[in-house]
Structure 1
Amino acid sequence: MNKSPKGFPEDFLWGGAIAANQAEGAFDVDGKGMCIADINAFQGDLPLEKRCNLEMDTSQIKAAMADQEGNYPKRRGIGFYYTYPEDLKLLAEMGLKSFRFSVNWARIFPNGDEEEPNGEGLAFYDRLIDEIIKNGMEPMITISHYEMPLHLTTAYNGWYSRELVDFFYRYCCVLFDRFHDRVKLWIPVNQINMIHFESFNHLGIAGDRAENLLQAKYQGIHHEFVACAMAAGYAHSRYPDLKIGVMLCGGPASPKDSGPENVLAAVRHNQMEYFYSDVALRGYYPGYALRFFEDNGIELQFADGDEEILKNTADFFSFSYYYMKVCDEESFRQGNRTYRNPSLSANEWGWSLDPVGLRTMLNLFYDRYQCPIYITENGMGFCDSVEQGQIQDTYRIDYYRAHIEQMREAVRDGVDLRGYYAWGPIDIVSCSSSEMTKRYGFIYVDYDDYGKGTGKRIRKASYEWMRNVIRSNGEDLN
């Protein structure tokens, strides 16, 4: 009889992940158009836990597009568009085996609806991919990571408009054709289940341009499903060695307590989190989702052929993990909501510390899908301080140690875990709060929330610790 594995596979991908919009800067360089992230403002007058990007209406979108004086940190990022050779060298020296990044959609199709791509944008990603490989790392590409061209929001209505299916499909085909010889791992949409939080950044649907915004969001998700399935079909037929994934943000929630109503509410909530990956990996709409739509008065429009297109399924499952949430009957009735577990400690932004939840999710996902899994984001934001040129971030080491221990246990449980990507291995602008104060990296970047600083890169104490972890393939966590 075979025994459970005692450690990570020899070819395990220890990786790091960033998004173009949070790192590159150069938001108006070399033909790039404006994307959704370019209008995420830093709201420094709000408390830490309330700095987040919410829904936007048309007037707010147009005002932000025209604003040349406000503080929009994602327009400048950390200058990765220019510093990527040095930054990748630092990450390679830490031992990373893989690097996940996104292609900024508006850098390839500035408006999103052009017939031909922007050659300068493609050339930049040629250089970036070559540099990743030169440094001994395997590239993983996220095709859409909150970088939809703003023109697709203002001239159309984001993913609510059926036209985006063809626009996105064209964009995917261009990338596959250009990079297929060097990039084998692809995620079409980052955190495709982000429909409540960060939903404008994800779907690009202005809040004032839909009579029923929830229905518009689910219709937009359907259009994404179709576009992603079309892209998977194209990749599989033209380039059989490419692997196409689906990615969720977190996933299942725990019931508040053992009360039967709360247990059932958690089951129903979790089904609607699995919904996205069920469609992507199984190729059809499950019955529980049809019931949910009927109960909530949501009527989705399918075009002829959509159901057949959805049969072009993904190859692997991936997810971002930050912490596991809680659900009860009341929160489910109030829009299928969840909330933070009040029994867990949290960082200054209210994000819980829950490493055991990672093992729980890994087991739940693998039991359901029995396919390769990648953790494509994991990390926690902290306020780092530089003292005598050093950052002693022992709290970050403690965080990663606890999560890697639980990953190792999940591998022993039989989970087919192929890779782990620390989120923001180098400090980047925060996705949700558009600030630099909330730092994730093993490498410090000397910029503040207003873009002031030298831009100098400094290895934190966690850098050397993570290098030992990778060198030992997850055995040395001391």
Structure 2
Amino acid sequence: MTTYTFPEGFLWGAAASGIQTEGTTNKVHPSIWDTWHQTNPERFFKEIGPAKVNQTYERYQEDVALMKEIGFNSFRTSIQWSRLIKNFETGEACPDAVAFYDAYLDEMIENGITPMINLYHFDMPAALQQQYGGFESKHVIDLFEKFARTAFKLFGHKVKHWITFNEPIVPVEGGYLYDFHFPCKKDGKLAAQVAFNIMVAHAKAVMTFREMNIDGEIGVVLNLTPSYTRNDSDEDKQAAWYADLLFNRSFLDPMVKNSFPKELCQLLDKHGLMPEVRDSELTAITTAKVDFLGVNYYVPRRVKARETEYTLDYFTPEVYFENYINPEGRFNPYRDNNEILPTAIYDIAKNIQDNYGNIKWYLAEIGIAMDLESEGPVQGDGYIDDSFRTELMKEHFIQLNRAMEEGANCFGVHQWTFIDNWSWINSFKRRYGFYRLDLETGNRIPKRHSQWFKSLAETNQFSV
């Protein structure tokens, strides 16, 4: 057998978000997800919205105890803009929300669990979307900075790891290109403007953090998906280059290197997509240095050169490539047959090491989706058998360990997710948790993978 060892002090835990776990009890404002579900429940799997989810608002003490039970030393969640802020224009906080987040953070800290707090996880307050267009608006950038300032002031003495945005490209893709997030628009130029405005909001939050001299670190979490070609032809390689430029480097370069790829600017200009840009905004983006990077990875991207005519009447990245299914690939039968490629973890790590200054980073999300049928019923010992998940996670962590042995600067792993949680229009279709959520009772039922993870977290090693 081979033993794979990780450094002392390595962070082990899970990631989630406020909107996907807390429920809506005592929430001062709705988010776009609350209002979209109210108007279009048919867009959501089994019409389940975010109103009644894990109910962490009421059950946070129980949940923290379960985190401790399976060996977590860290946990990422988010503060909901629509819960914390009472007055969006002034940044005034809601006292009930302050009390809740204070208690939740204290509970984690008292149980030896380091909180990592994200400010934005796709959950634009509905009022700001309705009144201003969300991040279509420059004004909402300023309101986000006020939200960040309030959060830093209230919780900066407790939280030492801050994250500005989780997967900032996803609201752009979902809301402005591919119609899986509200506001369900299809407009390439508007997508470019929203993307740029999010980068400015991120930069201003980082600058506010520095100005306030908060004791801790601040970073961003990006979903980085390597692009692999059908073959070694120059045409396929060029297709993969474009996919990487538009899906990875578009955010990774400005947020880590503090510079825009020249080729990206040329492409946007060519297609008439250049956003409105102010000199002060460029200064913010090019000077706001992050302390660390979070990386989310689930599946690879397979691309080939376009073989058919592009027929959409607006710009998407697929102008430059077509998606491709590897006929020799391995696929997860429990998650829309998505490809499984553990070596992508190694490739991501080496890209960061070789091309991004070997910045300190952590694997902020990695998950293996199953469903209720594939996980099966509770076994005689009280656990659900998800050994399929464990075996695949081992393969991914072997690749991470391999990269770290070669110098990759990774400091932790957070698996998606702690308890099966509500997941946007998919609701509870896909299950990722260490614990199953029983939607009828709210009970948290342990899965066998949690015991393997506990041993890993406590010993910093596993053997295969």
TM over 0.5: yes
Pick the aligned partner of 1:414 from 407, 411, 415.
407
> What secondary structure sits across from 2:132 in the alignment?
coil
Identify the residue that residue 349 of structure 1 maps to in structure 2: 335
Instruction: Report what 1:293 is aligned to.
Output: 268
The amino acid across from 1:476 in the alignment is: F
Q: Write out aligned runs for 1:380-419 (5 A).
A: 380-383=368-371, 384-387=375-378, 388=380, 389-419=382-412
Q: Is the 8 A contact 1:160 1:205 kept in 2?
A: no
Pair 1:205–1:6, CA change in 2 (3 A): closer
Q: Summarize the alignment of residues 101-112 of structure 1 with structure 2, pairs less than 5 Å apart.
A: 101-109=77-85, 112=88
1:252 and 2:247 correspond: no
Which secondary structure state, in structure 1, belongs to the residue aligned with residue 122 of structure 2? coil
Matched with 1:469 is 456
Write the deviation string for residues 133-171 of structure 1: whole angstroms up to 9, x where unpaired: 111011101100011101111111111111111010000
Q: Which has the higher strand share?
A: 2
Partner of residue 47, structure 1:
none
On the 8 A contact 2:223/2:295 being kept in 1, the answer is yes
Secondary structure of the structure 1 residue equivalent to 2:169: coil
2:301 to 325, 341, 355: 325
Cα offset, 1:184, TM superposition? 1.3
Structure 2, unaligned stretches of length 5 or more? 308-316
Q: What is the one-letter code of the residue matched to 2:16?
A: I
1:199, distance to aligned residue in structure 2 (A): 3.3
What percentage of residue pairs aligned between the two structures are identical?
26
Alignment of 1:4-23 (within 5 A): 7-23=5-21
SS in 1 for 2:220: strand
Contact 2:141/2:200 (<8 A) preserved = yes
Gaps of 5+ in 1: 42-61, 448-452
Give the counterpart letter for 2:195 in structure 1: I
Instruction: State the 1:214 CA deviation.
Output: 1.2
SS at match of 1:264: helix
1:32-181 equivalence runs, <5 A: 32-39=28-35, 41=37, 63-64=39-40, 71-109=47-85, 112-181=88-157
Structure 2 partner of 1:282: 257
Q: Which of residues 343, 353, 361 is equivalent to 1:373? A: 361
Q: Distance in 1 between matches of 2:50 and 2:200?
A: 29
Partner of 1:433: 426
Is 2:182 aligned against 1:217? no
Instruction: Note if contact 2:28-2:82 (Cα within 8 Å) is conserved in structure 1.
Output: yes
Query: Are 1:302 and 2:294 matched, yes or no?
Result: no
Amino acid at match of 1:235: F
CA contact (8 A) 1:281 1:315 kept: no
- Point out the more displaced range, 175-184 or 422-431: 422-431
Q: What does residue 238 of structure 1 align with?
A: 212
Aligned to 1:44: none
Instruction: Provide closer, same or farther for how the CA distance between residues 18 and 195 of structure 1 changes in structure 2, counting only shifts above 3 A.
Output: closer
Judging changes above 3 Å, is the alpha-carbon distance between structure 1 residues 457 and 206 closer, same or farther for their aligned structure 2 residues?
A: closer
| Counterpart among 422, 429, 438 of residue 446 in structure 1 | 438
TM-score (ref. length: structure 1): 0.86
Change (3 A) 1:128 1:340: farther
- Aligned AA (2:445): I
Task: Sort the Cα spacing of 1:7 and 1:317 in 2 relative to 1 into closer, same or farther, 3 A.
Answer: same
**Alpha-carbon distance between aligned partners in 1 of 2:231 and 2:423, rounded to the nearest angstrom:** 33
* Closer, same or farther: CA 136–341 of 1 in aligned 2, 3 Å: farther
**Equivalent in 203, 207, 217 of residue 229 of structure 1:** 203
| C-alpha distance after superposition, 1:65-96 (max 9, x if no partner) | 9x9xx933321111111111111111112111
CA–CA separation in structure 1 for the residues paired with 2:135 and 2:180: 5
Aligned pair count? Answer: 439
**AA paired with 1:148?**
M
Matched, 1:186 2:162: yes
Aligned AA (2:265): L
Cross-structure match for 1:270: 244
Q: How many angstroms apart in 2 are the aligned matches of 1:335 and 1:21?
A: 35
Distance 1:409 1:328, change over 3 A: same
Deviates more, 1:97-106 or 1:230-239: 230-239
1:202: Cα distance to partner? Answer: 11
Q: Is the 8 A contact 1:253 1:270 kept in 2?
A: yes
CA separation of 1:315/1:464 partners in 2, compared to 1, >3 Å: closer, same or farther?
same
Q: Is residue 109–residue 171 contact of structure 1 (8 Å, CA) maintained in 2?
A: yes
Give the TM-score normalised by structure 2: 0.88
CA contact (8 A) 1:112 1:149 kept: no
Distance 1:340 1:380 in 2: 19
Given that residues 86 and 92 in structure 2 are in contact (C-alpha distance below 8 angstroms), is that contact kept between their aligned partners in structure 1?
Answer: no
Matched with 1:58 is none
Per-residue deviation, 1:299: 2.0
Amino acid at match of 1:385: G
Q: CA deviation at 1:399?
A: 1.8
- Report Cα offsets for 1:39-69 as digits up to 9, x if no partner: 565xxxxxxxxxxxxxxxxxxxx8349x9xx
Counterpart residue type for residue 30 of structure 2: M
Contact persistence 2:36–2:182 (CA under 8 A): no
Cα 1:23/1:333, change in 2 over 3 Å:
closer
Distance 2:96 2:293 in 1: 32
Cα distance in 1 between the residues matched to 2:154 and 2:463: 40
